[in-house]
Amino acid sequence: MSIRKVAVFHCTARVGSAWCCAEGLSVTLAAMGYQVMDCGHPGAGGPPIEALRGADLILLGAVEWYGELLERRYGADWAALPMPKLAWYAESAHRDDRDFPFARYRALADRHYFPAAQDAEEFGGTWLPFGADAVLFAPRPVPKRHDAAFLGSLYPKRQEFLRRLGLPLTPMAPVADPDPIRSFARLAEAYCSTRIFVNLPALSRLLVTKVTEVMACGTLLLTPAMDHPSGLANMAQFEDGRHLVYYPPDRPERLRALIAHFLARPEEAGAIAAAGRAEILRAHSLEARLRRLIAEAEALRR
């Protein structure tokens, strides 16, 4: 039987969060022609169980942020729902600052999809990296106001890295709007306003959502290689020097040299940026990820 109606639970998108595990799921599914029941975050209530019974599929985006609330909201009725349930996580189970108890959410879904390759192996699920909304994150006709810039939270790990870097990077101001689509459109404009976007070392052990989003915007991305051995497999999604450029997160002097190199060679920088966007459109869009999820859910219904 063909899936037509999809109920989507997700986090509330904010700039810096994973659009592809929040409202972006519902927006993209609707654009693909599916009937979407946007259930939002269960902390805000969630639809009654009777409404959920009308869905052909339930999709849980970033379930690690609200799994307990979902259990409290629906109790034993959740397990009795007959349609497939898929969970697509938004974090790595192990971060520099905390661990997530992914195993406790096993009963909430029939299939579990992880953006970190090592988590798919550890928890017996499927590796499904983030996909970029290639409609929202796309080249935009804005002036190039910065040579090299970053955008993101400045927690101590990043503050120390910037101190060691010794090179002034432009910190782009967070962009926000009450409407989430306008908010993320402004984020895309920010990504397009710099010649080089520098992704700073993160606490998570995966390729964060900025990677695919910046690449989809057609901006050259310099992003840290995984600094924990468990996360190395995640880097295989993209070819270093062809789609993006990885830098060693423990060698800020290497990042300094890369920035200088590409600012002096705009044609080379533009070629990598264009190849990066083309690769996103070829294989790493949010629509492509959702088509895979829908196909696997339909197989469960047979």
- pLDDT reported for residue 13: 63
Domains identified in the chain and CATH numbers: 5-131+286-301 (3.40.50.2300), 146-283 (3.40.50.2000)
Residue 168 has pLDDT above 80, yes or no: no
pLDDT band at 105, cuts 50/70/90?
A: very high
The mean of the pLDDT values for the chain is 93
Pick the more confident residue, 236 or 151: 236
- Alpha carbon of residue 186 to chain centroid: 17
Residue in 270, 165, 252, 150 with CA at minimum distance from that of residue 210 = 150
- Classify residue 262 by burial, with Cβ atoms within 10 Å: 0-12, 13-18, 19+: buried
Cβ-in-10-Å burial (0-12, 13-18, 19+) of 128 comes to buried
Q: Where are the alpha helices (DSSP H) in 48-130?
A: 49-52, 67-74, 77-80, 117-123
Q: What pLDDT, in 10s, does the model give residues 222-234?
A: 999 988 889 999 9
The single residue listed with the structure tokens 């790990």 is 157
What would the pLDDT profile of 106-142 be if each residue is shown by its tens digit? 999 999 999 999 999 999 999 999 999 999 999 999 9
User: Could you give phi then psi for residue 179, rounded to 5 degrees?
Assistant: -90, 120
Task: Return the bridge partners of 85, or none.
Answer: 58
Q: Average pLDDT in the 272-299 region?
A: 98
The larger pLDDT score, comparing residue 260 to residue 1, is at 260
* Cβ atoms 85, 53 nearer than 8 A: no
Query: Across 80-84, 96-100, 197-201, which has the greatest mean pLDDT?
Result: 80-84
Question: What is the model's pTM?
Answer: 0.94
User: Does residue 284 surpass a pLDDT of 70?
Assistant: yes
pLDDT digits (tens, 9 = 90+) for 31-72: 999 999 999 999 988 999 999 999 999 999 999 999 999 999
In 3D space, the residue among 208, 206, 197, 182 whose CA is nearest the CA of residue 244 turns out to be 197
For residue 15, the model assigns a pLDDT of 55
CB hemisphere CA count around 210 (13 angstroms):
23
